[in-house]
Structure formats: structure tokens, C-alpha cells
Amino acid sequence: MSKPNAKLSNLTDGFRSAMLVTHDQDGSLRARPMALAEVEDPKVLWFATLQTSGKVDELRDDSRVAVTLQGSKRQVSLTGRAEVVIDADKIDAMWKDSWQVWFPEGRDSAIALVKVSVECGEEWDATLEDAAEFLYEAGRQLLTGENRDAGSPGEHRTVSF
């Protein structure tokens, strides 16, 4: 496995699952939780699903996706393009015993991989700010008239790939 891209790896560090957002036949958005199978260099996320899953058809019709990851103090939003990959060697290389829950026949299940090529992302990180810092900053802004989104404590960064 190649070394992950530092920016993407940092954005996805600590997350084991994500919401994968696709477009259905009529263009409506569909979101569903997915286990994050792998983060690959330079900016690729992998998920596993069944070949018969509705998301497989959705991705073949419209490759635009969003991936959201949320923790107690960090949120990440990624956008990009997805493709369905059916590759037994790649599935063997990525296989985790915990997948048995979703794929009862193991590697012999009709598994499809979803490869998401990330184009850009945003992160909101409040892990370094405690409540006192946030309250101080909100109060300072009130007194000075400076306008920072006080509803989003922490650092915000946008990353393009």
C-alpha cells in the first residue's frame, strides 16, 4: 500500500465511517453511512458495497459525490467523483474480517469497491479550543463588532487537491 497523502490523511484521521452522498435517478441526494475501507495516495477514499446495491447504479449514472465525516469535535466535508471498481485482487488486499457482517459469503460475496477521487474538502476542528476560549472569543467579537461565525468554534480550513 502506498503512503497516504498528508493533507487527506490528516482530514480523515480518526474516522472509521462516513456518510456517502450520491444522486439518485431523479437527481435527489441520497446519503448513507459507509465504513471507510482505505485512504490511498494521493487523494482517494475506498468503500466496499454489494454489486447489487442501489448506490452502484446511482454512481454509474452520476459520479458526483460528497463524503462527510463527523466526530465530537471535528467535521469534514469532501467532494469529488466516484467510480465502481470490481477487482478481486484489490478486494483481497483490502479485506477486513469485520466486513463479514455485510458480506456473509466473505470475499466470495458480490463485492464492488467504490473509489472516491477527492477534489476538495473542508474541515472544522474544535479539538484545540476549549469552552473558555470559545466564550472569550465570542465575547471579544461582541465588544469589537468583529464578525466571525461564533456558531463554529475552532479552526476552519479548505483544501483543494
Look-up: residue for cell 467523483? 81
Beta bridge partners of 48: 113
pTM for the complete prediction? 0.78
Q: Where are the domains of the chain?
A: 6-128+155-160
Q: Which residues contact 17 (CB under 8 A, 6 or more apart)?
A: 33, 34, 35, 36, 69
Q: Which fold has domain 6-128+155-160?
A: Pnp Oxidase; Chain A (2.30.110)
Q: What are phi and psi of 40, to 5 degrees?
A: -120, 150
Q: Are 44 and 50 in contact (CB under 8 A)?
A: no
| Secondary structure of residue 142 in the 3-state scheme | helix
Q: How many residues does the chain have?
A: 161
* pLDDT, position 109: 93
Q: What are phi and psi of 150, to 5 degrees?
A: -70, -15
Nearest to 112, CA basis, from 32, 29, 44, 54: 54
**Tens digit of pLDDT per residue, the chain (161 long)?**
334 455 666 778 888 999 999 999 999 999 999 999 999 866 999 999 999 999 999 999 999 999 999 988 888 999 999 999 999 999 999 999 999 999 999 998 999 999 999 999 888 877 655 556 666 777 777 788 776 654 555 667 666 65
